[in-house]
Structure 1
């Protein structure tokens, strides 16, 4: 298993762990991650490719041929391309996007990077984003990868998820707390 017994569940985790071990041995963790992310972006940006990847209607051979053509056109080669073709041949292409995310998580862990998710009501300014990143970095005690999501439903404030911890400082949460307290009184 990758990284000192890291346990990642499911098909995606097993494939990602195996690829991580191979890429680490080859000294190409970042190169493989970059190629995988490029392929993932292609899948996200093309409904036809997404259908090829997720639909059980296509045979393994059809998926292999289609993926090989996309990889060649995109200039994705080496370990990442071999991995994606293997996944297609084993009829596991439906999980390739989860495999990419799991692989990226393993690379981040290897580098000591902690993943944090911040949800805001609106797009933050660069200054606000820098302040949030600095505050989360101080709590995490190391390098962080910040994933910013916009959700107008929280009305204001922010929600921060760091590992298994979550801080909800949203206006929606505060209003719900007040509403609940008012019901208790009356």
Structure 2
């Protein structure tokens, strides 16, 4: 199975458009020997999307013209000092009216990078953001348990109340407070 097939199989929810753009970005970053810088800048773009509802509206809304999106996005990228490969790439995506694919492109790029590095992705959802120390400890625990290098895709879902949900491939461990409370509620209904 080729590297591309592995990535495609890992995340079927990523569109073909996102996969093609991510592959092009990865190939360019590899050619320019800028994988780590590209990964960091994409992480910064992803963080901006996560923190700003206005930015997500700009990304997802078909109401804005390409010129309006490009003007607003250029200002955001300039303020965040995201230049070079990622700055230019995001502008190209915007000019091509594919800005709505940016979240999928970032996810696809991370998947391609994970396969390239020989790692496995662990999707970790927590009620609050995990500290760097927590992520490092979790990564080490998962590596010990699975015998593979692990890349963590961390998400926050306040509805979990506490604990973690960890998914690696088809395996999932749900130690969230929400799930424990739901189990308790079911058990109490059976008793009552």
Structure 1 and Structure 2 fold alike (TM over 0.5): yes
Equivalent pair of 2:126/2:160 in contact (CA under 8 Å): no
- 1:115-162 CA distances to partner (integer Å, 9 max, x unpaired)? 21345678889998776544321232122133375666588x754311
Instruction: Give the whole-Å Cα distance in 2 for the aligned partners of 1:103 and 1:87.
Output: 14
- 1:74 aligns with 80
1:73-125 CA-to-partner distances (Å, cap 9, x unmatched) read: 22111111111011101111112122112212221221222221345678889
- Tell me the equivalent position of 1:26: 32
> Is the contact between residue 12 and residue 95 of structure 1 (CA under 8 Å) also seen in structure 2?
yes
Aligned to 2:117: 111
TM-score of the two chains, using structure 2 as the length reference = 0.72
Q: Distance between the aligned counterparts of 2:117 and 2:105, measured in 1? A: 18
- Cα RMSD of the aligned pairs, angstroms, is 3.6
Structure 1: which 5+ runs fail to align?
none
Q: Which one scores higher on RCO, CA 8 angstroms, separation ≥ 6?
A: 2
Which of residues 40, 43, 52 in structure 1 aligns to 2:58? 52
Cα pair distance change 1:66/1:122, threshold 3 Å: closer
Whether the aligned pair in 2 keeps the contact of 1:119 and 1:149 (CA below 8 Å) is yes
Unaligned runs of 5+ in 2: none
Q: Pairwise mapping of residues 165-180 of structure 1 onto structure 2 (< 5 A)?
A: 165-168=171-174, 172=179, 176=183
Aligned partners of 1:67 and 1:85 also within 8 Å: yes
Comparing 163-172 with 124-133, which one deviates more in the overlay? Answer: 124-133
Alpha-carbon distance between aligned partners in 2 of 1:173 and 1:86, rounded to the nearest angstrom = 46
The size of the alignment, in residue pairs, is 183
Question: Which of the two has higher C-alpha Rg?
Answer: 1
Structure 2 CA distance for partners of 1:164 and 1:55, relative to 1, 3 Å: same
Using the TM superposition, give the Cα deviation of residue 164 of structure 1 relative to its aligned residue in structure 2, in angstroms: 2.0
CA distance in 2, matches of 1:125, 1:76: 24
**Does residue 17 in structure 1 map to residue 23 in structure 2?**
yes
Q: Distance in 2 between matches of 1:133 and 1:38?
A: 21
